[in-house]
Amino acid sequence: MDITLRASFLPHDDPEASLAFYRDVLGFEVRGDVGRDRTRRITVGPAGRSDTSVVLHPAGDGPGLLLTTPDLDAVFEWLQARAEVIQEPIEQPYGVRDCAFLDPAGNMIRVQELR
């Protein structure tokens, strides 16, 4: 099975402190910054590595882990017997086909097939 980590979603309660840590301490580049005040969603990642991102988001907003695969159907077939399905594979209007599961702790794992 071919699965790649695409993005990790980490909650924040202080966007400026999170941004300072990932940008200034770790040296990540800022790829997106939307919203205002505490509702900001900030995407950062290692410079020169556009295939991997960290999305800093308000607590309770968004998936916990985003994976990609070239064969969503195969991954879905394998995972549906091993994890709780919360969304079967569907086409999304933003250019991906994806599905979603819950891990044993209740965290969402979204698996995308990029087009």
Q: State how many domains the chain has.
A: 1
What does the pLDDT look like over 61-94, one tens digit per residue?
Answer: 665 778 889 999 999 999 998 889 999 999 988 7
- For residue 110, what pLDDT is reported? 87
User: Which residues, including other chains, have CB under 8 Å from residue 75's CB and lie 6 or more apart?
Assistant: 1, 3, 69, 99, 111
d(CA 39, CA 58): 6
- For residue 3, what pLDDT is reported? 80
d(CA 95, CA 87): 17
User: Which CATH number do you get for residue 63?
Assistant: 3.10.180.10
d(CA 27, CA 112): 27
Averaged pLDDT for residues 43-65:
79
| Structural domain that includes position 27 | 4-114
